[in-house]
């Protein structure tokens, strides 16, 4: 292809038979299968691809790696648009669309490149020193301008159309890194038969250079006990060898295939881990070391060798001492002219780089102080290697500075369950890496077979010998040159910024990082930290080791939120809990409401009815004829055993010793600190058999609590608890005709008032042989029964009630009507709000004085027994048509609206069709002493006028309990 002016032949990864079209900033190009976007752009002669974060300086491709700091692009369009992707990691596909980012209006003419002129002011921390006055201006003026200028790429704002998956994976040995060290370690360890998983972030194994290891890779791939996960990046090492990894399943395609996720998160649990994460080549600090055309030496070599791309025509190599033989040879073969090798260990340095959007020349300064300028379009930089210690550092390991290696190495090369090898362990030659990796593999195999006896002497000895013989030249920055020596390329942190920070007293490496923002870019310091530390070392006169590194945190490389969420998104966030009546409610046109994870029936509108009209109709049906309501969401616990009664006496504040068989009782459960925890009913089904219900909201926590009471507090008690919540469907049948309807569906049971008085409980069969439990309990305040049948019969029960109750005008009602009914009756519900005591709720008399129970002693603390506390009362507005909200506050008439006179708040409110008035329940300071007082309900949040209301008993309806006993 004629456009690929810098394409060479023979790139190992490139398939020149398969040209692929792509666009960058709207311009069309062609690359080949096997290219990355970066290599394809370079092949097409595009070297200026991005702008930096702060100064908007022109930038090019700097690395051949995932931690590319410069060449970040926006990939794809529409809802799949994705910002900040390193072009070096984008596998080219046909039709790829990418654009540059953080520039306006275009990459070449970027208005904010004016920031470069302001660079003398925009130094580290300049914003701490200005924009302070006047105070309001920060939020209104300064900050919006800064915010717009900052950021990198742009999100589409559209819903991510792709899907993500999660999977669990267990193995015996996890090998992280598929370079030659990882390959060899995995191959050797797998021979012992252990389940081995090898994870590699690139599409193929081999790392920097795997020539000669094709056979090894093939053998590894053929082993049945080895699983290889390419395009998978281990991002975090969590406790007990739990690893988080993300597989880029289809990022290399234009769109994921049918039923294919875009990415898959792996949660890997392993017994042992071999870390072969390799090392990252580092740059050097010199003036204008950020210009497009300045590139890591290993990257230049790999672009030529692997991708068949000529990153420049005339190169200068700047090295801290490495001979760069491989690069020199590769360039020679590729016909790239090597203008100079600048070897800092021989006293020569680059003083400056000329050119703005592309390198034009470099100025060198020799040991004699003489300078010369050399024309070139490529500067290859080789500053040494940083072992990829990030995963180890996540575990709290502080990396150790090695003077010989001139690098931070793992503090511990091995632990009980991990081994480091390859260049991560500091090894500098491929032969060393391979030899040590094989040794490591054998060691891991030995540990797998007989864990106790592994001997690490040889493992350590090898590394110590390698370190002893290493002698890297300590060189990080040119001593000469101007102010634009970049340490953090993406964030535009310069050598001068680090010096300024230390001068201003920011002396800890963490302070300098935070003050200058070095190491906080998308590469998380993989390129910059070492140079920041070197600069600090000079400024502070401390050794590299004394300065130390900042902490590395997960993820190793950025991970998409979508992958971390997997399938748990939108409606699939968590399972929806449905009662056995759900389908029936749906058919009846019932409306559902979210209640925790449950979908409960809220109300059953008839055609043309509003919610309020439906609720009113449902309430009146229960009051005047008969209604029924799904109560299957209540928690249900089966309790059995000789000590069951004694146990109930411990967990409830009221007594259960004398509850007869066949009777239900209301129970109130406290926390040990005396605050009400939950309420429900307890029914004695047999001598040693009880059935407990809890509120829907607390069903799980009550179960955990009483299991704690049993297993931990009173383990000697001989009882057994079982959660039977899902086993039973429950329906409350309420209203004057409730008994008549019940009798029809339970013809074999005597449900008369004599046989089944208030609070009686019976087991029997209904509906032609369905086992059922009937309880004569009432939340609504009506003659009522709760009917429980095995969950699978729930729907049949609802249908039978509807059918048999038809002539009585039976009406299903939802939780809204249920709430109105209980407010009218004065049953507490939302008043159990984790703030109230039994006494606050008007239930103080339930607290037994004859026994020990959870919450008894601490209930007696002065603050909980204080007569000044807020107590439950009813509220009746003087004008019955005046409504008020739950959450409105209570003030004495005429009192100032101030916290001192805040007398409480409304906990429940409703229009009562029965009473023809708005009513409410409130927690009011000294409420019980204030019956008859007219107070004001205030709701300034809604700008409402105060509603004058009388404090009344909260038992609005049938306070004598005649209905429930009828």
Partner 1 sequence: MRIPCPLCGARPLEEFVYRGDATVTRPEEGAPMEEWVSYVYLRNNPKGAHREHWRHVAGCGSWLIVDRNTLTHEITRVAEVRPSGDAR
Partner 2 sequence: MRYSISSLVKQAFRGHSGWPEAFRHPEPAKHYDVVIVGGGGHGLATAYYLAKNHEITNVAVLERGWIGSGNVGRNTTIVRSNYLLNSEIPLLEWSLKLWEGLSEELNYNVMFSQRGVLDIFHTDGQRDEAVRRGNAMIVNGVDAVMLDRKQVLDMMPLVDENNGRYPVLGGLLQPRAGNARHDAVAWGYARAADRMGADIIQNCEVTGFCRGPNGEVTGVETNRGQISAGKVAVAVAGHTSQVMGMVGMKLPCESHTLQAFVSEAVKPCVNTVATFGVGHLYISQSDKGGLVFGGMVDGYNSYTQRGNLPIVEDVAEAMMMFMPALGRVRLLRHWAGVVDMTMDGSPFICKTPLENLYLNGGWNYTGFKAIPGAAWCFAHTVANGAPHKFNAPFHLDRFAEGRPVDATGGGPFPNHH
DSSP single-letter state for residue 142: I
Q: Is 254 in the site for partner 1 (CB under 8 A)?
A: no
Q: Is 87 in the site for partner 2 (CB under 8 A)?
A: no
Instruction: Write the interaction track for partner 2 spanning residues 154-183; mark x where CB under 8 A is met and - where it is not.
Output: xxxxxxx-x-x-x-----------------
Instruction: Write the interaction track for partner 1 spanning residues 156-175; mark x where CB under 8 A is met and - where it is not.
Output: --------------------
Separation of alpha carbons 166 and 559, rounded Å: 13
Cβ proximity to partner 1, 700 vs 726, nearer residue: 700
CB 110 within 8 A of CB 104: yes
Q: What value, to the nearest 5°, has the Cα angle with vertex 819 and ends 813 and 823?
A: 135
Q: Is 230 in the site for partner 2 (CB under 8 A)?
A: no
Q: Is 799 in the site for partner 2 (CB under 8 A)?
A: no
DSSP labels, 308-335: -B-S-SEEEEEESS---HHHHHHHHHHT
Separation of alpha carbons 889 and 903, rounded Å: 7
Which of 371, 612, 613, 711 binds partner 1 (CB under 8 A)? It is 711
Separation of alpha carbons 417 and 690, rounded Å: 50
Three-state DSSP class for residue 30? strand
Q: Is 508 in the site for partner 2 (CB under 8 A)?
A: yes
Q: Is 708 in the site for partner 2 (CB under 8 A)?
A: no
Q: Is 718 in the site for partner 1 (CB under 8 A)?
A: yes
Largest CA distance in the chain: 115
Shortest distance in whole angstroms from residue 858 CB to partner 2: 7
**What is the dihedral angle through the alpha carbons of 950, 951, 952, 954, rounded to the nearest 10 degrees?**
120
704 binds, among partner 1, partner 2, none (CB under 5 to 8 A by kind): partner 1
Separation of alpha carbons 97 and 267, rounded Å: 32
Cβ proximity to partner 1, 17 vs 852, nearer residue: 852
Which of 165, 510, 586, 802 binds partner 2 (CB under 8 A)? It is 510
CB 103 within 8 A of CB 124: no
Q: Is 704 in the site for partner 1 (CB under 8 A)?
A: yes
Packing angle of the helix pair 297-307, 325-334 (nearest 10 deg): 40
- Kind of pairing, strands 598-603 and 577-578? parallel
Q: Is 573 in the site for partner 1 (CB under 8 A)?
A: no
Shortest distance in whole angstroms from residue 564 CB to partner 2: 3
- Considering only 189-197, 223-231, 469-477, 856-864, which stretch makes contact with partner 1 by CB under 8 A? 856-864
Cβ proximity to partner 1, 78 vs 396, nearer residue: 396
Q: Is 469 in the site for partner 1 (CB under 8 A)?
A: no
Instruction: Write the interaction track for partner 2 spanning residues 352-391; mark x where CB under 8 A is met and - where it is not.
Output: ----------------------------------------
Shortest distance in whole angstroms from residue 178 CB to partner 2: 22
Q: Is 755 in the site for partner 2 (CB under 8 A)?
A: no
Q: Is 267 in the site for partner 2 (CB under 8 A)?
A: yes
For 468, phi and psi rounded to 5 degrees?
Answer: -60, -35
707 binds, among partner 1, partner 2, none (CB under 5 to 8 A by kind): partner 1
Shortest distance in whole angstroms from residue 850 CB to partner 2: 22
Total residue length of the chain: 966
28 binds, among partner 2, partner 1, none (CB under 5 to 8 A by kind): none
Tokens of 459: 């493992």
* Residues sharing a CB contact under 8 Å with residue 899, sequence separation 6 or more, in sequence order: none
Cβ proximity to partner 2, 216 vs 696, nearer residue: 696
Residue given tokens 């002065």 in the structure block: 862
CB 628 within 8 A of CB 815: no
806 binds, among partner 1, partner 2, none (CB under 5 to 8 A by kind): none
330 binds, among partner 1, partner 2, none (CB under 5 to 8 A by kind): none
Instruction: Write the interaction track for partner 2 spanning residues 114-133; mark x where CB under 8 A is met and - where it is not.
Output: ------xx-x--xxxxxxxx
Cβ proximity to partner 2, 337 vs 866, nearer residue: 866
Near partner 2 in 543-562, by CB under 8 A: 551, 553-555, 558-562
Alpha helices in 871-922 (DSSP H): none
Separation of alpha carbons 714 and 786, rounded Å: 32
438 binds, among partner 1, partner 2, none (CB under 5 to 8 A by kind): none
Closest CA to 188 of 459, 451, 442, 447: 442
Near partner 1 in 183-242, by CB under 8 A: 238-240, 242
Q: Is 860 in the site for partner 1 (CB under 8 A)?
A: yes
Tokens of 486: 């970049």
Shortest distance in whole angstroms from residue 889 CB to partner 2: 5
DSSP labels, 809-828: T-EE--HHHHHHHHHHHT--
Near partner 2 in 478-497, by CB under 8 A: 483, 496
**What is the dihedral angle through the alpha carbons of 175, 180, 185, 191, rounded to the nearest 10 degrees?**
110
Q: Is 402 in the site for partner 2 (CB under 8 A)?
A: no
The burial of 578, by beta-carbon neighbours within 10 Å (0-12 exposed, 13-18 middle, 19 or more buried), is given as middle
CB 888 within 8 A of CB 704: no
Near partner 1 in 651-680, by CB under 8 A: 672-673
Which of 15, 191, 242, 469 binds partner 2 (CB under 8 A)? It is 242
DSSP single-letter state for residue 18: E
CB 34 within 8 A of CB 307: yes
Q: Is 368 in the site for partner 1 (CB under 8 A)?
A: no
DSSP labels, 730-763: EEEEESTTHHHHHHHH-TTS--STTTS-TTBEEE
Shortest distance in whole angstroms from residue 282 CB to partner 1: 32
942 binds, among partner 2, partner 1, none (CB under 5 to 8 A by kind): partner 2
For 295, phi and psi rounded to 5 degrees?
Answer: -150, 150
What residue ranges bind partner 1 (CB under 8 A)?
238-240, 242, 267, 269, 672-673, 700, 704, 707-708, 710-713, 715, 718, 720, 852, 857-858, 860-861
């Amino acid at each position: 292809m004629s456009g690929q002016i810098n394409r060479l032949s023979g790139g190992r990864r490139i398939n020149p038979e398969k040209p692929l079209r792509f666009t960058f900033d709207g311009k069309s190009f062609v690359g080949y299968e096997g290219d990355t976007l970066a290599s394809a752009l370079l092949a097409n002669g595009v070297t200026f691809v991005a702008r930096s974060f702060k100064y908007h300086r022109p930038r090019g491709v700097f690395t051949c790696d995932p931690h590319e700091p410069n060449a970040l692009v926006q990939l794809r369009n529409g809802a799949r648009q994705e910002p900040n992707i390193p072009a070096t990691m984008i596998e080219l596909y046909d039709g790829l669309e990418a654009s540059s980012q953080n520039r306006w209006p275009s990459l070449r003419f970027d208005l904010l490149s004016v920031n470069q002129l302001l660079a003398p002011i925009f130094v580290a921390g300049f914003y701490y020193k200005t924009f302070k006055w006047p105070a309001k201006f920060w939020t209104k003026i300064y900050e919006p301008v800064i915010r717009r200028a900052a950021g990198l790429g742009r999100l589409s704002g559209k819903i991510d159309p792709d899907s993500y998956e999660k999977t669990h994976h267990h193995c015996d040995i996890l090998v992280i890194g598929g370079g030659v060290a990882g390959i060899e370690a995995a191959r050797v360890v797998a021979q012992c038969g252990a389940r081995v998983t090898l994870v590699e972030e690139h599409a193929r194994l081999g790392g920097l250079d795997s020539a000669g290891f094709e056979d090894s890779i093939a053998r590894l791939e053929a082993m049945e006990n080895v699983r290889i996960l390419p395009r998978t990046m281990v991002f975090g090492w969590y406790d007990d060898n739990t690893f988080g990894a993300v597989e880029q399943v289809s990022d290399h395609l234009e769109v994921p295939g049918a039923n294919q996720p875009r990415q898959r998160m792996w949660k890997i649990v392993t017994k042992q881990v071999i870390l072969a994460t390799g090392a990252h080549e580092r740059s050097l600090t010199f003036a204008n070391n950020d210009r497009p055309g300045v590139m890591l030496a290993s990257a230049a070599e790999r672009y030529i060798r692997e991708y068949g791309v000529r990153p420049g025509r005339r190169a200068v190599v700047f090295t801290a001492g490495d001979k760069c033989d491989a690069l020199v040879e590769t360039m020679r073969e590729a016909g790239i002219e090597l203008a100079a090798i600048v070897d800092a260990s021989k006293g020569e340095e680059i003083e400056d780089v000329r050119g703005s959007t592309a390198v034009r020349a470099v100025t060198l300064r020799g040991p004699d102080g003489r300078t010369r300028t050399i024309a070139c379009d490529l500067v290859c930089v080789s500053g040494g290697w940083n072992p990829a210690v990030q995963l180890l550092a996540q575990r709290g390991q502080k990396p150790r500075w090695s003077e010989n290696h001139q690098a931070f190495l793992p503090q511990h090369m091995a632990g009980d369950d991990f081994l480091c090898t390859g260049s991560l362990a500091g090894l500098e030659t491929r032969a060393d890496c391979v030899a040590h990796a094989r040794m490591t593999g054998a060691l891991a195999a030995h540990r797998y077979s007989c864990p106790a006896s592994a001997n690490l002497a040889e493992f350590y000895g090898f590394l110590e010998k390698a370190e002893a013989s290493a002698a890297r030249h300590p060189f990080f920055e040119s001593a000469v040159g101007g102010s634009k020596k970049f340490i953090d390329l993406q964030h535009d942190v310069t050598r001068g910024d680090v010096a300024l920070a230390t001068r201003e007293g920011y002396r800890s490496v963490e302070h300098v990082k935070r003050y200058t923002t070095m190491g906080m870019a998308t590469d998380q310091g993989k390129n910059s930290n070492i140079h920041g530390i070197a600069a600090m070392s000079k400024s502070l006169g401390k050794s590299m080791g004394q300065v130390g590194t900042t902490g590395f945190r997960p993820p190793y490389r950025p991970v998409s939120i979508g992958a971390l969420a997997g399938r748990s998104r939108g409606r699939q966030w968590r399972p929806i809990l449905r009662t056995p009546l759900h389908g029936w409610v749906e058919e009846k046109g019932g409306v559902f409401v979210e209640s925790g994870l449950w979908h409960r029936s809220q109300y059953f509108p008839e055609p043309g009815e509003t919610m309020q009209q439906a609720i009113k109709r449902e309430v009146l049906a229960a009051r005047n004829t008969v209604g029924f309501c799904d109560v299957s969401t209540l928690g249900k616990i089966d309790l059995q055993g000789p000590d069951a009664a004694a146990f109930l006496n411990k967990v409830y504040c009221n007594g259960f010793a004398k509850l007869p068989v066949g009777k239900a009782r209301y129970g109130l459960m406290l926390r040990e600190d005396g605050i009400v925890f939950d309420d429900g009913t307890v029914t004695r089904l047999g001598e040693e058999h009880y059935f407990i219900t809890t509120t829907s909201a607390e069903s799980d926590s009550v179960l955990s609590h009483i299991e704690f009471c049993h297993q931990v507090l009173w383990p000697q008690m001989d009882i057994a608890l079982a959660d039977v919540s899902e086993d039973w469907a429950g329906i409350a049948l309420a209203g004057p005709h409730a008994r008549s309807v019940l009798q029809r569906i339970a013809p074999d049971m005597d449900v008369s008032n004599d046989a089944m008085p208030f609070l009686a409980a019976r087991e029997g069969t209904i509906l032609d042989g369905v086992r059922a439990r009937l309880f004569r309990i009432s939340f609504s305040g009506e003659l009522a029964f709760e009917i429980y049948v095995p969950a699978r019969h729930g729907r049949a029960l609802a249908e039978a009630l509807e059918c048999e109750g038809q002539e009585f005008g039976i009406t299903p009602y939802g939780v809204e009507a249920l709430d109105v009914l209980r407010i009218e009756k004065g049953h507490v519900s939302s008043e159990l709000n984790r703030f109230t005591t039994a006494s606050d709720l008007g239930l103080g008399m339930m607290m037994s004085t004859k026994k020990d129970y959870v919450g008894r002693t601490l209930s007696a603390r002065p603050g909980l027994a204080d007569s000044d506390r807020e107590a439950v009362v009813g509220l009746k507005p003087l004008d019955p048509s005046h409504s008020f909200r739950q959450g409105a506050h209570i003030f004495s008439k005429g009192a100032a609206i101030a916290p001192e006179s805040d007398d409480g708040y409304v906990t429940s409110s409703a229009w009562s069709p029965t009473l023809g008035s708005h009513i409410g329940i409130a927690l009011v300071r000294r409420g019980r002493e204030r019956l008859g007082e007219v107070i004001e309900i205030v709701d300034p949040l809604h700008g409402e006028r105060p509603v004058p209301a009388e404090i009344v008993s909260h038992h609005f309806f049938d306070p004598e309990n005649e209905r429930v006993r009828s």
